[in-house]
Amino acid sequence: MNSRRVGVERIFSWSALDEKTRVGIIVSVFLLVAISPAVGQSIETGWDIAESGVDSNLNAAAVHGNETWVFGDGGVMLSSSDEGMTWSAMNSDTTADLISADSAYDSMAVLDSTGSVLMKQGLDADWTNIGSPGEGMVDLVLIGQNSLILVGVDGAIWRYSASNWQEIETQFTENLNDISFLDENNGIACGENGTLLFTTNGGISWNYREAPTGSSDSNLISVGYYNPYRLYAASSDGQILSSTTTSAQNWNLVEIESEGYNTSLDENLKSIEVVSASIILFAGPDNYLGVSLDGGNIVEHNIIPDGINTSFNDHAMIDYQKGIVVGNQGVILLTDSSGKNDLVGFEIPDYGNFGEFSEYADDMMLDGFKATVKIVGFGILFGFLIGVILAMFKTAPTNLKGLVEGRPNGIVRTLGGGLAAVGLYLFWEGVSGFSELGLDGIEYIFTPVGDPRGFAMFGLGIALTLLGLLFLSNNGKFSKIEIGRVTLNPWKIRPLNSIATLYTDFFRNTPLIVQFMFIHFGLSLGMEIQDAYESVFGDMGVDGFDYWLLGESAFISAIFTLGLNSGAYQCETIRGAIAAIPSGQMEAGRSIGLTYMGTMKLVIMPQAIRICIPPIGNEMVNLVLNSSLAMVIGYAELSRQGRLIIAVTFQIFWAWGMVMISYFVVTWTLALLLRRLEEKTKIPGLGISGGA
Amino acid sequence: MSEVVLSIRDLEKTYPGGVQAVRGVSFDVHQGESVAIIGSSGSGKSTVLRCINRLIEPTGGVIELGGTQINTPRANVNEIRSRIGMVFQSFELFAHLKVLENVTLGLRHVRGMSKSEADKVAMEVLERVDLLERVDAYPGNLSGGQKQRVAIARALAMKPEVILFDEPTSALDPELIGSVLKTIRGLADEGLTMIIVTHEINFARDVADRIVYLDKGLVAEEGPSSIINNPKTERMQRFLASMNEEH
Ligand SMILES: Nc1ncnc2c1ncn2[C@@H]1O[C@H](COP(=O)(O)OP(=O)(O)OP(=O)(O)O)[C@@H](O)[C@H]1O
Ligand SMILES: [Mg+2]
């Protein structure tokens, strides 16, 4: 017993736990991590193979009226009038490779690799060759029934209108890859090294748009313009760029949630097709097709039909669900579901069945459980730290007399004068702002909110003025002041104690739920801390420890609120424990020459903390229970998850029951740990004996 | 006579409530001397001791340690206290620390010794108070006599210029008093400078070189230990008589 080493490091060791506790912990962990069920479900491709009848590489596709057209190497032209199911070869009068096509304003145009453009000006018109502005053109876009724009290498832009070719001179020289127009005037082109060019006058003049950080070196291969505020672009190595500002002013890299909040799909891309404000289809050279329904946040990797292995080159969508995609070796696939994978065997779950309910709920519950444990863990540490500091503040004996005594009176008075002057200045500055608030009578109690800065100056000003006047009046007697029947001795004021009292009074006399909302929404504390972190250490990224710790602003606000609040309560408990340590202990510590703080740290606190483990344990359990209020600031802890589960399943009894059990597991484990801690740190002759 | 270690001149202490506990006490303590302070309850004995190591601030008078005044606001109290040992009536051991750690705490955190150095010094003093076999015990598991000897060892370890004992045996059961008194006597014989406040009149007479009799905050009589046998003042006679009745 006597030789047993008592130290915190041993308390949580697994081998030191007795068997009952170990089994308890294992069982509770097991209960929470429910085994995921196996059900006969499968996922199938959302694309069907269409017979093209050719094996040339198919480079471009377009929808023209009721027909769908496909263009490929060697002048191959195919058309389908049944939405892509059957195809027939068309005569093209050329053997050059057809590389790009567009259809709009009832016209259709195709670009070949020599730079010549074939055009069908009207639904029933014949193909006519409108000539070539030169080699090196890669993409074209129609900006009217008889007008179009070509882009190509070295920043070449040619405009065809009124049967004339006109070269657009710009100072941009990067190779351009793709061009897209919203209407006759507004259009965007993209190219190598993050080049984004924007026009508002039908391509006569072009302005540069800055690519988002992280993509300024990217080769932007495709761009899509959906509406005035929705533009997307993609890079050859899988970045998705979006702009939601008019005139494409600002561009952002989309964080792809399905790729772990990465900013790249990790797939090579060839082309994107924007079919609605948020639905985007992706095609890539390595047999890749993908679709996102939410602007790129979640991108589903399409399953490719068996037997297809190609490089996909272009989409042509009839509507946002129906359409085709073409690729090398004559591949044409068609879909009527935006290419989304088919879920076969998936049924709508019956949440009236507890098994199916918990299958849905347990993952969410586990997330909530982890989130709760996370704020509780940090909250406890933080709260305890604050509690200890405040308790030391509250018990600190230093009063104003102690601060002044023994210093030359001249210095004290000079300091007093200075403080009074600063105090008066602050007071005046603070007060003079109040009148602008337009308050009346009792409304003045809200000045701390209306003018926080002014109120802080006002309060600090009063405190400093009084302190300064006191110091000025110092004559070394430190006598008390009598005002009528009331006597008080300002020299006995203990500044640290006053600060701590103000703090605890404030936090204990306002509702926690309001503190949560005030700190998170009012002060935006979580966001401020994130911003401060990012301005010092740079972007915290989307994974790693700093993201885990600071990635969620509600989490930061929650631990601060819980810690600050719990600290105010723990402070009183710890202070009580300090008071319970006989005064002789402080004297004994000081008598061997330790300083006040040294004695506090080495003698008083180690004993006080041991004494207050049980009541502090109660505070910590309270903290766990209080953590449920973090749901009001949108933190996904257990209670909030409970509400979300109910929103989907409508199983109120089961959901709240599960939440309750989960809380019990947290508090009960905590109580066990604390009991263990108490036993382990128990010292003969210290504190009330009892227990084990 | 050898040099004066501690000199007290006109010491006064009036407690905030207005109690004049000490009203002008003067005496000297010489190198190697043991001085016993006796007097009835409330006569101000503890107050004098606590003023000496500045656990309380005297309201008047001068205290000099090794020739320099120590009761000025500018003096470094922590340094002064580490030069003056104090043994309390109620032991005041640090309950969360083992015997050895109780003794080494000051050595390590005030004297700045390494753990091994401090342990070495502590083992030496614990040997002097005959407690070597209990170094790993917690104070809660010791007898009262053992506790007080640990407290003495804790004070001794700091190599103080003077040790103050405030009724070191008053809280002990009669059968445990002997071991503590024996330890103190041993220290006196070794030539340690000490002030002992005690109600053990016989012990004071046998061990102390000099007796200071306090009455109502004043030194009523002072002299070699022989004055216990022949008190001059009537007050001291009555005090001694009352003490003898008790035993
Ligand atoms: N902290 C205090 N505040 C006010 N008065 C005090 C305080 N401590 C002691 N006194 C008073 O001062 C006087 C002297 O007390 P002191 O403790 O010095 O006596 P003592 O000689 O040590 O007595 P005892 O033999 O009982 O220990 C007593 O009247 C006591 O009531
Ligand atoms: Mg006393």
Question: Has this prediction a pTM greater than 0.90?
Answer: no
Instruction: Print burial letters for B200-219: b (CB count within 10 Å at least 16), e (below 16).
Output: bbebbbebbebbbbbbebeb
Going by alpha carbons, the residue nearest to atom 31 of ligand 1 is: B42
Q: Do B78 and A590 touch (CB under 8 A)?
A: yes
Q: What tokens appear for A161 in the block?
A: 């209108």
> Environment class of residue B133 by beta-carbon count within 10 Å: exposed (0-12), middle (13-18) or buried (19+)?
exposed
A339 in Cβ contact with A44 (< 8 Å): no
Query: Minimal CA–CA distance to B40: which of B245, B242, B244, B225?
Result: B242
B217 backbone φψ class: left, alpha, beta (φ>0; ψ -120 to 50): left
The minimal CB distance from B96 to the residues A589, A590, A610 is found for A610
What ipTM was assigned to the predicted interfaces of this complex?
0.94
How many pairs of residues across A and B have Cβ atoms under 8 Å apart?
Answer: 92
Domain locations along chain B: 4-246
CA dist B41 and B38 (Å) reads 9
Going by alpha carbons, the residue nearest to atom 16 of ligand 1 is: B44
Query: Minimal CA–CA distance to A202: which of A138, A131, A149?
Result: A149
Residue B127 CB: number of other CB atoms within 10 A? 12
From the CA of A584, how far away is ligand 2's center (Å)? 13
Q: Do B72 and A405 touch (CB under 8 A)?
A: no
Q: Do B81 and A591 touch (CB under 8 A)?
A: yes
CA dist A639 and A645 (Å) reads 10
CA dist A397 and B105 (Å) reads 23
CA dist B100 and B96 (Å) reads 12
Residue A506 CB: number of other CB atoms within 10 A? 12
CA dist A379 and A622 (Å) reads 11
* pLDDT the model gives residue A347: 60
Chain B residues 200-219 with CB within 8 Å of chain A: none
CA dist B27 and B14 (Å) reads 19
Looking at all shown ligands, the one closest to residue B39's CA atom is 1
* pLDDT the model gives residue A604: 94
SS3 sequence of A90-150: ECCCCCCCEEEEEEECCEEEEEECCCCEEEEECCCCCEEECCCCCCCEEEEEEEECCEEEE
Lowest mean pLDDT among A248-257, B41-50, B83-92: A248-257
**Per-residue pLDDT reduced to its tens digit, B66-82:** 989 998 878 888 999 99
Residue type, A292: S
Cα of A668 to nearest chain B Cα, Å: 28
Residues of chain A with pLDDT under 70: 1-17, 28, 30-41, 344-348, 686-692
Residues in a beta bridge with A42: A344
Looking at all shown ligands, the one closest to residue B44's CA atom is 1
CA separation (Å) from A580 to A195, A395, A604?
72, 12, 10
Domain locations along chain A: 87-313, 399-493
**Per-residue pLDDT reduced to its tens digit, B223-237:** 999 999 999 999 999
Chain B residues 93-112 with CB within 8 Å of chain A: 93-96, 98, 105-106, 109-110
CA dist A614 and A611 (Å) reads 7
Instruction: Print burial letters for A191-203: b (CB count within 10 Å at least 16), e (below 16).
Output: bbebbbbbbeebb
Is the minimum CB–CB distance between B69 and chain A shorter than 8 Å?
A: no
Which DSSP state fits A611? H
**Residue given tokens 């009669």 in the structure block:** B174
Query: Using a 6 Å CB cutoff, which residues line ligand 1?
Result: B 15, 17, 19, 21, 39, 41-47
Going by alpha carbons, the residue nearest to atom 17 of ligand 1 is: B46
The minimal CB distance from B92 to the residues A2, A584, A610 is found for A584
Instruction: Print burial letters for A305-338: b (CB count within 10 Å at least 16), e (below 16).
Output: eeebebbbbbbbbbebbbbbbbbbebbbbbbbeb
In sequence order, which residues have a C-beta less than 8 Å from that of residue A184 and are 6 or more positions away? A143, A144, A202
Contact list, B86 vs chain A (CB under 8 Å) = 587-588, 591-592
Query: Where does B104-197 show beta strands of DSSP type E?
Result: 162-166, 194-197
Q: Do A588 and B73 touch (CB under 8 A)?
A: no
Cα of B3 to nearest chain A Cα, Å: 24
A612 in Cβ contact with A603 (< 8 Å): no
CA dist A268 and A283 (Å) reads 9
Q: What tokens appear for A260 in the block?
A: 């772990």
Q: Which CATH architecture has domain A87-313?
A: 7 Propeller (2.130)
CA dist A121 and A116 (Å) reads 16
Cα of B81 to nearest chain A Cα, Å: 5
* pLDDT the model gives residue A692: 35
* pLDDT the model gives residue A181: 93
Contact list, A408 vs chain B (CB under 8 Å) = none
Residues of A engaging B, defined by a Cβ cutoff of 8 Å:
2-3, 405-407, 582, 584-585, 587-595, 598, 602-603, 606-607, 610, 683-686
SS3 sequence of A574-606: HHHHHHHCCHHHHHHHHHCCCCHHHHHHHHHHH
Q: Which atom in ligand 1 lies closest to the alpha carbon of residue B45?
A: 21
A627 in Cβ contact with A379 (< 8 Å): yes
Q: What tokens appear for A611 in the block?
A: 């004494």
Going by alpha carbons, the residue nearest to atom 30 of ligand 1 is: B42
Domain B4-246: assigned CATH number:
3.40.50.300
Q: Do A610 and B136 touch (CB under 8 A)?
A: no
Q: What tokens appear for A449 in the block?
A: 């909110």
Cα B104 from chain centroid (whole Å): 20
CA dist A73 and A62 (Å) reads 16
